[in-house]
């Protein structure tokens, strides 16, 4: 039981935070939401989370993905192009305008900073591919996210495009670049590598604060919504989120097999290509200067659905892939000179 809690603590916490946040927002008032917004600043939290995760990214394995760029290009095409197109095709099925915007935002944001590498390793994949996809998509999101939102919404949503690009640059790209620059210092790199798991834990705690804000805003949006959010609308958008993620994953996996990529590269490309990050998505959906005037308080709901679902799904898919290709994924044995056995070891 303790081992299960250690592995799944974040999923359990995010479930509790979502439930409590939605309830608090639904039963609270505008003053409650304002107080939460004053305490939780999405732009600052996003920058902190991305900086911590960038500082823990070991970029030394990136050369392996550059030498054979096929899986990298396929993963980038899946993450930046295919997933937004799948979400675009599913928009007519949505029963609530807020959920349409939320689905668009989630499909347009970059790859997860820590999730892609964690689940790639779990599936026995090439970590260099997932790291490179992570860095490129997060570095370019200040351009790709506004482009897709503008294209898909056909200018029907009013938002400051220049301000969105500027804020995403400072909150998303700059922290990633600064984190990697600091890793050039040998002492900082060694220190960051020693506490990688702790950095990841701290980053996830900050993510929970962002999820809390999103959940409270969702609850308040449900309370004040004139249209109302039906159970059918929730089911449809949740299934749509799963279709976007699974559709991107298996399309990438099949194309990787057709191109005869190594199993390690196939699973890395599929996971990094189909995963999406929550901090930037929540930042885009909750920042008042971006969508505050558009009236989409429940747009964060699909973000939470997508993020939670992808980790449950990828756990199953990564484990099945490793079992299927175990003979290819097992590391080659390394010859080690025999060492004298101490008395206590005997």
Q: Could you state, in order of their start, the residue ranges of all structural domains in the chain?
A: 12-325
What architecture is domain 12-325? Answer: Up-down Bundle (1.20)
What's the pLDDT at 47? Answer: 81
Q: Which of 34-38, 110-114, 164-168, 315-319 has the lowest mean pLDDT?
A: 164-168
Gap between the Cα atoms of 304 and 99, Å rounded: 11
Global confidence as pTM: 0.73
State pLDDT tens for residues 266-317.
999 999 999 998 878 877 877 655 654 444 657 778 888 898 788 788 888 8
Quote the CA–CA distance of 128 and 58 in Å, as a whole number.
Answer: 9
| Contact criterion met (CB below 8 Å) for 272 and 120 | yes
Q: Phi, psi (5° rounding) for residue 110?
A: -75, 180
Q: At what angle do helices 42-55 and 278-286 cross, to 10 degrees?
A: 160
Question: What confidence category does residue 335 fall into, taking pLDDT thresholds of 50, 70 and 90?
Answer: very low
Spatial distance between the Cα atoms of 30 and 220, rounded to a whole number of angstroms: 8
Other beta carbons less than 10 A from residue 330's beta carbon: 10
Is the confidence at residue 323, as pLDDT, over 50?
A: yes
The SS3 assignment for 277 reads: coil
Q: What DSSP state is assigned to residue 81? A: I
- Are residues 106 and 303 in contact, defined by beta-carbon separation less than 8 angstroms? yes
- Model confidence over 17-46: pLDDT tens digits? 888 888 888 888 778 777 887 788 777 887
Residues near 299 by beta carbon (within 8 Å), at least 6 away in sequence: 98, 99, 101, 102, 105, 285, 291
CB 275 within 8 A of CB 130: no
């Amino acid at each position: 039981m303790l081992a299960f809690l250690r592995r799944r603590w974040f999923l359990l916490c995010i479930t509790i935070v979502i439930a409590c946040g939605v309830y608090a927002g639904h039963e609270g008032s505008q003053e409650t939401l304002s107080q939460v917004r004053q305490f939780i600043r999405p732009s600052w939290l996003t920058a902190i989370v991305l900086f911590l995760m960038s500082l823990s990214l070991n970029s030394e394995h990136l050369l392996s993905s550059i030498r054979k760029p096929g899986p990298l290009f396929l993963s980038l095409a899946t993450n930046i192009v295919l997933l937004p197109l799948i979400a675009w095709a599913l928009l007519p099925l949505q029963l609530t305008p807020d959920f349409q915007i939320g689905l668009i935002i989630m499909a347009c944001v970059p790859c997860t900073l820590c999730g892609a590498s964690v689940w790639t390793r779990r599936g026995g994949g090439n970590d260099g591919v997932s790291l490179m996809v992570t860095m490129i998509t997060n570095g370019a999101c200040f351009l790709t996210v506004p482009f897709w939102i503008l294209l898909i919404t056909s200018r029907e949503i009013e938002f400051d495009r220049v301000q969105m690009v500027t804020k995403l640059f400072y909150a998303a790209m700059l922290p990633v670049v600064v984190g990697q620059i600091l890793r050039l210092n040998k002492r900082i790199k060694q220190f960051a590598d020693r506490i990688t798991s702790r950095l990841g834990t701290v980053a996830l705690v900050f993510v929970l604060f962002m999820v809390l804000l999103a959940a409270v805003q969702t609850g308040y949006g449900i309370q004040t919504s004139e249209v109302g959010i039906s159970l059918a609308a929730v089911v449809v958008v949740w299934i749509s989120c799963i279709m976007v993620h699974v559709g991107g994953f298996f399309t990438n996996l099949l194309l990787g097999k057709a191109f005869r990529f190594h199993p390690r590269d196939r699973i890395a490309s599929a996971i990094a290509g189909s995963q999406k990050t929550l901090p930037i998505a929540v930042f885009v959906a909750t920042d008042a200067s971006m969508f505050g005037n558009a009236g989409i308080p429940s747009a964060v709901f699909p973000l939470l659905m997508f993020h939670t679902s992808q980790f449950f799904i990828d756990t199953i898919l990564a484990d099945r892939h490793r079992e299927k290709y175990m003979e290819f994924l097992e590391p080659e044995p390394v010859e080690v000179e025999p060492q004298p056995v101490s008395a206590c070891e005997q």
